[in-house]
Every structure is written in C-alpha cells, then in structure tokens.
C-alpha cells in the first residue's frame, strides 16, 4: 500500500474522516521518518494513524481517541491494513497524553474543547526537531493554533485548502466544493 | 526520505516545479505500486519522478523531458536523492513515447502543444488497470483532458485545488493565494 | 432598494436562484447604464432581472424563461419590487430571441443545451459596445463560453469565484463552501 | 455611473485599493439606503466612499484617512466622479471618529493597529439597525472581528472570497489567483 490511500479503502462507520487529499497533505507536512514516534490525537477512524504507521514502519503510532465507536473503527482498520505498530489509547487529551512516550510528530485532527491544554502538553512533550500538524475547519482553530505556536517560537506555516471535485451532470462536468480546511504546521527549531 | 518531499530539498534552477502540495496530491492520485512502470511526461526538475521512484522502489520511472536544462536538473536530483530506478529520456512527447515500455502509470505535468496526440499515445500504451494523472493550470487543459478521458470511457475525476499560504505581516498573518491547479485522474477500467 | 439585494428578499419557490454574491458580481460586470436594454436569458426567479431593472431605471429588461414556475415567480418578484420595466418573455433561447429588440447587455444565467446557438444569436443581436455576462457552474460552460467569445474577437475576462460562508458551530465558527461559479464577461469592441 | 465601478475608472496612485469585486460585495453587504450616513474608515483611494456616495445620494459619506497621499487621491476621485456628499476627514481612528455624526453604516477596509478600539467606538456610535462591514486579509482580522461582533450580540456573517482571474497565455487561458479576502458583516439587531 503506497501513500495517499483513497477514502474508500478504510472502514468508516459514522465517524467523520479526514478526506484523502487533506490526509495526505497533512501527513506530507508531518515529514515522517521511518522510525518516528507519532501521536494521532483525536484519531477518529484511524485513517491518519494507518497511513502514518505504514510510512513509519519502524516507528510507532499512538492513536488517541475518546469515543467507543472510533476505537472500534481504528481496530478494524488496523486489522484491514495489517499494521502492527499502532497503539490504541482510549481517553481524552490532554490528560491521557501525559503517560505516553515523547513523540517526534503530533497530528491533531480536530482540536477539542481543551485545545490550548492539548497544545501545551504537546509542546511540553514534543522532542527536539519535532513537528506538529493541526487540521482546522474553524476560523478559531486556524487563528488560535497558528498564533499559539508562533508565540512559542515555533516556525509555523498555515495553508488553507479549498478543493472542488468534478461531478458529471448530464454531459457536462460540475465542480462541487468541499469545505476549506486549514492545515497548521509547527516545527520546533534547535 | 518519506513521501511529501518539501520543495526546497530539490535542486531547482529556473525550471518551473510542481509545488509540493500539488506534487504529493498528484502522486497520491497515481496510486503507485512498488513495482509500477511510470512515465513522467514533461518531467521538468524531476521532482515528481524522484518522489515516484522512491515509492515504486522495484519499478522504474521514465522521465521524459525536452529541455536541456530540465534534463540536467533531473540528473542532479537523481544523484541528490540517490535513486537508481529513473531513466531519463530526452525528447518530445508523443514521438519519444512510442519506443518506451508500456506504463502502469502516467503523469503529465504540463500538457504541451501536442496535448491530444500525447493523450492518444498515452491511452494506447497504458496497461490494463492503468492510471493517468494530468496537472493543468489552464481552463483548456482541465476541460480538454477531463472530456477526452471521459469520451474514451475512462473513469475520470478532476479536482481543482486552491491553496493559500500564510505569511507573517507585522504581528498578523496574511494568506497568500497560489494559482488554482486542476488535477485530472483517469482510470482504465476492465 | 439599493444594489446587492439579499436572497431572502425575493420570492423563490423551488427554482434555483443565483446567490446574492454571484448576482451582484454579475450585474457589476454588466456595467449597466440607466437606459440599457437588457436580455436576461434563463431568468429563473427573476432576481437578476429585478436588480438590473432597478439600476437601469429608464431601460428595459427582457426576462426570457421557458418554465412555467419560473415565469410565475418572475411576475411575483416584479410585483414585490414594484418594477415596471421588465418584459417577461415565455419561451426558449435562441428561438425566442430573434424578435426581441437588440440589447446593450445580455446576461445568461445558465447556458442550456443550445448554448452555442444562443451565443451566436446573442452576438448577432448585441449592439455596439455591448456586454455579455455568462454564469457557469461547469468546466464545459467556463471553457466554451470563454473560448467562443475570444474566437469572435471579443475582449473576454473569466473569473472563478469560490466563496465560503461562516456557520456557528458551538462557540466556534466553521466556514461552509459554496460551489465555485465562473463569471465570463465579453465585451464587443469598436 | 451604475454600481460595480471598475478599478481602472479610479485615480489610484500607489495606495492599495480594494479590488472591484471585493468593493461591490462589501457595498452590497452594507445594504445602503438612499439617505444613509456612512463612515468609510481607512478610506485609501476613496473608491468605496465614491461608490457608496453615488448609491446613497441623499446621504453623506465620511471618508476617514490618515495618510496624506490617500487624502489627495480621495479628493481627486471626488472630483472625477463629481460627487458632492463626501466629507474627507484627515486623522486616525478611533480618535477622529468621536466627533462625527452617528452613522447608519460603517465600512472598515483595513483594521489598523487599534482595531479593537475602533470596533468599540464603531459599536458605540452606530445607530439602531446599523450595519458594519469589515474587510480582512489576515486570519487575525477575520477571527477577531467575527468574534468581537458575535460577543457583542450582533448578527454576524463572514464570507471568505477566493477569486481567480483569467489570463491569456498563448492560445490557452490560465487562472491567476487573487489573495483571499474575508468580508465580515455585523448587524445590530433591535
């Protein structure tokens, strides 16, 4: 399985899943290494975890998820893609993060209510040269994440991704818009 | 080196290069396999070729490029990334394609003046279950490529990608737009 | 009533209506004069007709619409906004256009099946210094309209408008995308 | 002169000017009345002031601008468009606002360093059923303006506008992106 796994390859249920384009862009921004230790906070269906685990073959992915349905789906996707380096962590960020091994990479798919506490814990535990990637669909997350990392002297880049997708309508081709997603990437320097 | 290589890792010269986001999205749409035979038509700096060659480790990438400067850059990037499965092919599509081994995957970064002839040759030579991905920055390429593949009974998807990128301006964060890129993906069915 | 009338001011029924942002941009591209003779081809609810008629007070708007429900809605909106310079024309372009007075301005909200014939008739009847504005939601219309007018030596500009709109979600603000719309403006020179 | 005045009709100098599409969308969101009292804060070249003054014929526009070059351009555009209901106010918001008549409508083209103080003064002076429209090109302005008005119980809508514009390149048509602009509209209810 090569990077950029299509959405339909995953077991999905009713849990919201990062769309394939946003997933591969986010993973690309994470600049994974073969042995990276990765936190996937708010793992949802586990699609980012699976894709990251396949790339960081000799590393390990901690999939943090609070909902039972999500946890079930992550386990199904682990089985489906036959990955052995994902550890499912049931619980809520930031509390559940404290006992995990320090990560090289952190992905936050959806910043929950305790966004700032999660960011704070993330920054505390992130290793040197570590990278954090956050996906945001709200102005609040885009602004707050970007600003928080900047104030903490991280090198920050935010991209806003607007994608529309073709749909055949008779013999013509319409373009259907997806909602914009902000991808915030913060890199710890030095 | 994991997928989603940043632009600045490549030797670039003055040749236009597909931006990293568009590159990884395009490669993702190609659904490469480890042993894919890939044509990269209009390879430019070779950034797509290099990234594809790293993913399709046991496959081979034919980098077709007509400009001398491009060929020089491709060779430099081959050396820099230490890839051994890229064959540089100097010449112009579609003529130069006729003698190449049939591909599983075709990437067309920029449809040149002989777009339809190139498409035609591509479809003739593409293997069963093959995939073609075209990048277009013009309405003409988006429309023509989408329509051509549709008329030839391929399964076609076109996405239009609008990305804006943050830029610090004083203590505020502006968003700077990149030009929209159309990514057309055509899949041979049956 | 000043320009840029909100959608909810119109009687709408189930007929698709140009969104207010696209409507005012399109009208703005039409560069109406107080005495312009305007064709609104495929008038739908009549929202563009009404807005144009209010601006071109001493001109006249011909609202061409083939569907009975549309015609009913146009008449209701004429009454609601109390405009007296709209002539409702029941019928199908291009046939129904032939007997109308030559226009200074033409708006085509949706290019139907007979797009090229409609364009051809439009160009034949358009007065000197006339302007045509077309809205397209398909790649086909964007490409075909732009190219057709260019080939006929008109000065053409196409803009692609991607708008997303805020929606409160809890105490955060999501951005919801609208589908992209192409606005093609063609100006007869000399 | 009808609404949606093209950029090239204005005297521009080197002062940044709101592009015509953003200008007409902003004015449209202002829902001007014929007799509106309008503040145009950070008036720049005066393009919004002129367009608003033409619509609100029996109203008055206060064009607030701190830069000398801007003031000169506003006066030139007043002369060029022959409008008589613009009052140029040299000075810096929010201080200079305190002595102005209470407005029905406020347009803030660029929120300066004293954004919150300007917002505060604006809300204090805005009349019942008044409307404020803010243009923002930064995440900071989009987020802060939206949130500020929401917290003050205004009805707020933010749109993000991404426009790309055609450019002929040989016999093909490229689309060139403009930077995204956020238009925040706040309405005082009750």
- Residue B113 pLDDT: 80
Tokens linked to B109 = 């970064």
Q: How far is D5 from chain C (nearest CA, A)?
A: 7
A169 touches chain C (CB under 8 A): yes
Partner residue facing B139 (CB), from C143, C162, C180: C143
Q: How far is C183 from chain B (nearest CA, A)?
A: 13
Cα–Cα dist A171/A148, whole Å: 48
**List of residues 6+ apart from A84 with CB closer than 8 A:** none
Tell me the pairing of strands C37-41 and B155-169: unpaired
Tokens linked to A115 = 């966004």
Residue A111's CB is within 10 A of a number of other CB atoms, namely 24
Are B140 and D173 an interchain contact pair (Cβ–Cβ within 8 Å)?
yes
Q: Indicate which CATH number applies to the domain containing C115.
A: 3.40.50.150
- Residue C188 pLDDT: 84
Number of domains in chain B: 1
Confidence band (pLDDT; 50, 70, 90) for B156? Answer: very high
- Residue B15 pLDDT: 82
A176 touches chain C (CB under 8 A): yes
Average pLDDT over residues D77-91: 97
The per-residue pLDDT for range C6-56, each reduced to its tens digit, is: 999 999 988 888 899 999 999 999 999 999 999 999 999 999 999 999 999
**Helix, strand, coil: what percent of chain C each, to 5?**
35, 30, 35
The per-residue pLDDT for range B88-132, each reduced to its tens digit, is: 999 999 999 999 999 999 999 977 788 999 999 999 999 999 999
Check pLDDT > 90 for residue D112.
no
Q: Is C88 left (phi over 0), alpha (psi -120 to 50) or beta?
A: beta
Check pLDDT > 90 for residue B25.
yes
Q: Is the dihedral of CA C80, C86, C90, C94 positive or negative?
A: negative
Exposed, middle or buried, A1 (CB in 10 Å: 0-12/13-18/19+)?
Answer: middle
Per residue in B84-100, is it b (16+ CB within 10 Å) or e — as a string?
ebbebbeebbbebbeee
Distances (CA, A) of C158 to C37, C135, D22: 23, 10, 16
D162 touches chain B (CB under 8 A): yes
D143 touches chain A (CB under 8 A): yes
Query: How many secondary structure helices (H) and strands (E) does chain B include?
Result: 5, 8
The larger pLDDT score, comparing residue B190 to residue C66, is at C66
The per-residue pLDDT for range C89-99, each reduced to its tens digit, is: 999 999 999 99
| ipTM for the predicted complex | 0.95
Q: How far is A67 from chain C (nearest CA, A)?
A: 19
Are C175 and A180 an interchain contact pair (Cβ–Cβ within 8 Å)?
yes
Confidence band (pLDDT; 50, 70, 90) for D2? Answer: confident
Are C174 and A141 an interchain contact pair (Cβ–Cβ within 8 Å)?
no
Q: Which residue of D has its CA nearest to A138?
A: D143
**List of residues 6+ apart from C67 with CB closer than 8 A:** C15
Instruction: Kindly state whether residue A8 falls inside one of the protein's structural domains.
Output: no
Q: How far is B91 from chain D (nearest CA, A)?
A: 22
Are D143 and A139 an interchain contact pair (Cβ–Cβ within 8 Å)?
yes
Cα–Cα dist B37/B59, whole Å: 5
C162 touches chain A (CB under 8 A): yes
pTM: 0.96
**List of residues 6+ apart from C43 with CB closer than 8 A:** C49, C63, C64, C65, C70, C74, C88, C109
Mean pLDDT of chain D: 94
Cα–Cα dist A172/A179, whole Å: 23
Check pLDDT > 90 for residue B166.
yes
Q: Which residue of D has its CA nearest to A159?
A: D139
**Chain A hits for B175, Cβ within 8 Å:** 158, 160
Choose from D143, D146, D159, D180 for mutation: most chain A CBs within 10 A: D143
**List of residues 6+ apart from D139 with CB closer than 8 A:** A139, A142, A143, A146, A158, B166, B172, B173, B175
Question: Length of chain D, please?
Answer: 190
Are B162 and C158 an interchain contact pair (Cβ–Cβ within 8 Å)?
no
Instruction: Kindly state whether residue C21 falls inside one of the protein's structural domains.
Output: no
Instruction: Kindly state whether residue C7 falls inside one of the protein's structural domains.
Output: no
The per-residue pLDDT for range D35-50, each reduced to its tens digit, is: 999 999 999 999 999 9
Residue pair D104/D33 in contact (Cβ under 8 Å)? The answer is: yes
Check pLDDT > 80 for residue C72.
yes
B177 touches chain D (CB under 8 A): yes
Question: Length of chain A, please?
Answer: 190
Instruction: Kindly state whether residue B78 falls inside one of the protein's structural domains.
Output: yes
Instruction: Kindly state whether residue D26 falls inside one of the protein's structural domains.
Output: no
Are D177 and B180 an interchain contact pair (Cβ–Cβ within 8 Å)?
yes
Q: Which residue of B has its CA nearest to D178?
A: B177
Confidence band (pLDDT; 50, 70, 90) for B190? Answer: low
The per-residue pLDDT for range C174-186, each reduced to its tens digit, is: 999 999 999 999 9
Residue pair D21/C25 in contact (Cβ under 8 Å)? The answer is: yes
Average pLDDT over residues D79-83: 97
Confidence band (pLDDT; 50, 70, 90) for B84? Answer: very high
Average pLDDT over residues D110-136: 92
Q: Which residue of D has its CA nearest to A141?
A: D143
Residue pair D89/D65 in contact (Cβ under 8 Å)? The answer is: yes
The larger pLDDT score, comparing residue B161 to residue C13, is at B161
- Residue B157 pLDDT: 98
Instruction: Kindly state whether residue D3 falls inside one of the protein's structural domains.
Output: no
- Residue D190 pLDDT: 61
D contact chains, 3+ CB pairs < 8 A: A, B, C
Cα–Cα dist D16/D45, whole Å: 8
Cα–Cα dist A150/A152, whole Å: 5
Cα–Cα dist C4/B57, whole Å: 57
Determine the structural domain holding residue A135 and report its residue range: 34-188
Mean pLDDT of chain B: 94
Cα–Cα dist A126/A94, whole Å: 13
Are A150 and B168 an interchain contact pair (Cβ–Cβ within 8 Å)?
yes
Q: Hey, which residues does D90 pair with through a beta bridge?
A: D65
The position carrying tokens 């104030």 is A151
Instruction: Kindly state whether residue A17 falls inside one of the protein's structural domains.
Output: no
- Residue D170 pLDDT: 87
Average pLDDT over residues D155-163: 98
Are D142 and A140 an interchain contact pair (Cβ–Cβ within 8 Å)?
no
Which residues of chain A fall short of a pLDDT of 50? none
Instruction: Kindly state whether residue D140 falls inside one of the protein's structural domains.
Output: yes
C contact chains, 3+ CB pairs < 8 A: A, B, D
């Amino acid at each position: 399985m090569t990077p950029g796994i299509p959405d339909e390859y995953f077991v999905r249920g009713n849990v919201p899943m990062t769309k394939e384009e946003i997933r591969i862009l986010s993973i690309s921004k994470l600049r994974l290494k073969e042995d990276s230790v990765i936190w996937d906070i708010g793992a949802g269906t586990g699609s980012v975890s699976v894709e990251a685990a396949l790339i960081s073959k000799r590393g390990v992915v901690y999939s943090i998820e609070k909902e039972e349905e999500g946890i079930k789906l992550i386990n199904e996707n682990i089985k489906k893609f036959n990955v052995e380096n994902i550890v499912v962590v049931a619980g809520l960020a930031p509390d559940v993060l404290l006992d995990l091994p320090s990560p090289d990479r952190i992905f936050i798919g959806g910043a929950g209510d305790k966004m700032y506490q999660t960011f704070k814990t993330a920054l505390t535990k992130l290793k040197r040269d570590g990278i954090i990637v956050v996906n945001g669909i709200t102005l609040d997350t885009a602004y707050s994440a970007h600003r928080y990392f900047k104030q903490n002297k991280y090198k920050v880049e935010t991209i806003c991704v607007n994608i529309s997708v073709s749909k055949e309508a008779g013999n013509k081709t319409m373009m259907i818009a997806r909602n914009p997603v902000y991808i915030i990437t913060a890199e710890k320097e030095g």
